[in-house]
């Protein structure tokens, strides 16, 4: 048993080393740029580890015993009242996140895909929340999950880490607005799913990946890496007041991190530039 654990650890280290060397060999210049950000990542981790909020020491600081504070959240109410029937298994604090990013789709003609069907209850919850014009798609690796299919819920059986599966899925289904990844939760599965599905989400769509847990999670690092292109400053004709838009920036509106959850929102209408015009007539001389 002890030897088995040692072997597993050794395998993990070798895999990590292989990944590092492969990145160095394929993208040497980018590799050095990323390496240059390592001290900042480390400082951020140390800062957050030792973090003390000024307000946490005062009387104005409020704590609640669950992470869900809003009673006006229909999803939370549904979950609270769901005491029997097909099972739903969610972290409590996800419900505020769902409602924050999904509320604008309620009552609309919306296509929702959840990866990870398990006992079928969450698919029923989405249908009840989004309403009669919604269509819910479920993906699971277990064939038993096909049992939850009906005229408003379509189930696809496959492995979310299999790019060929997503190719077939995209050929059969068009126009997903919301994707919720609650499948296998392994970073490689989450990354492949995002690479295959984010570009195909409809404009204005929302991509939500659950259970991104533990420090230095590789999917979390992948999602943080996306921010670089979002922040890419591409001065137009030498002007510091305008940045040309790159394809990623014209598609992706925002990237959000919550405990265990990453949310990516797409632009409804793509911007053609980012501008920083100066308004006013009186300026300090120093800039």
Which residue in 105, 113, 121, 262 binds ligand SAM (CB under 6 A)?
Answer: 121
User: How far is Cα 268 from Cα 68, in angstroms, rounded to an integer?
Assistant: 29
Sheet holding 239-244, edge to edge: 235-236, 239-244, 273-275
Q: What are phi and psi of 98, to 5 degrees?
A: -55, -50
Residue 124 or 177 having the CB closest to ligand SAM: 124
DSSP state of 144: G
C-alpha distances in Å from residue 172, one per residue of 31, 164, 165: 38, 13, 11
| Structure tokens that stand for 285 in this block | 């001389």
Binding ligand SAM (rule: CB under 6 A), the pick from 13, 45, 61, 89 is 89
Distance between CA atoms of residues 276 and 242, nearest Å: 6
Site track for ligand SAM across 159-188, x = CB under 6 A: xxx--------------------xxx----
Q: How far is the CB of 58 from ligand SAM (least distance, A)?
A: 38
CB of 270 to ligand SAM, least distance (A): 31
Q: How many CA atoms lie within 13 A of 275 on its CB side?
A: 6
173/4 Cα distance (integer angstroms) = 43
Question: Which part of the chain contacts ligand SAM (CB under 6 A), choosing from 63-71, 74-82, 85-93, 235-243?
Answer: 85-93
Q: Show the binding pattern over residues 181-220: x = contacts ligand SAM (CB under 6 A), - = does not.
A: -xxx----x-------------------------------
Segment (H or E) for 37:
helix 28-49
Out of 110, 113, 136, 141, which residue is the one contacting ligand SAM (CB under 6 A)? Answer: 141
Closest approach, Cβ 79 to ligand SAM, in A, equals 10
Task: State the residue number with the nearest CB to ligand SAM.
Answer: 184
C-alpha span between 240 and 199 (Å, rounded): 30
Q: Say whether residue 88 binds ligand SAM (CB under 6 A).
A: yes
The vertex-220 CA angle with 20 and 100, nearest 5°, equals 165
Of residues 142 and 229, the one with the C-beta less far from ligand SAM: 142
Q: Does 142 bind ligand SAM (CB under 6 A)?
A: yes
139 binds ligand SAM (CB under 6 A): yes
Binding stretches for ligand SAM (CB under 6 A): 87-90, 114-118, 121-122, 139-142, 159-161, 182-184, 189
């Amino acid at each position: 048993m002890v030897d088995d654990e040692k072997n597993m650890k050794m395998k993990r280290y070798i895999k990590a080393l292989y990944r590092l060397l492969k990145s160095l060999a394929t993208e040497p210049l980018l590799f050095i740029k990323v390496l240059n950000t390592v001290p900042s990542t480390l400082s951020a981790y140390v800062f957050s580890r030792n973090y003390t909020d000024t307000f946490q020491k005062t009387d104005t600081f409020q704590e609640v015993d669950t992470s869900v504070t809003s009673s006006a959240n229909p999803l939370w109410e549904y979950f609270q009242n769901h005491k029997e029937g097909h099972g739903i298994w969610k972290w409590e604090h996800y419900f505020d996140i769902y409602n924050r990013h999904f509320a604008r789709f309620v009552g609309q003609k919306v296509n929702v895909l959840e990866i990870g069907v398990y006992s079928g209850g969450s698919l029923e919850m989405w249908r009840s929340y989004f309403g009669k014009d919604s269509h819910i798609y479920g993906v699971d690796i277990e064939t038993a999950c096909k049992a939850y299919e009906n005229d408003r819920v379509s189930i696809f059986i496959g492995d979310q880490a299999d790019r060929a599966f997503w190719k077939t899925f995209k050929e059969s289904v068009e126009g997903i607005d919301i994707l919720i990844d609650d499948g296998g939760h392994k970073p490689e599965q989450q990354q492949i799913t995002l690479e295959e599905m984010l570009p195909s989400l409809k404009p204005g769509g929302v991509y939500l990946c659950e259970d991104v847990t533990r420090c230095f999670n590789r999917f979390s690092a992948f999602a943080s890496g996306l921010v670089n292109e979002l922040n890419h400053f591409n001065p137009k004709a030498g002007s510091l007041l305008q940045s040309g838009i790159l394809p990623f920036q014209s598609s992706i509106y925002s990237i959000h991190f919550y405990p265990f959850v990453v949310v990516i929102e797409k632009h409804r209408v793509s911007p053609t530039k980012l501008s920083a015009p100066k308004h006013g007539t009186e300026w300090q001389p120093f800039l």
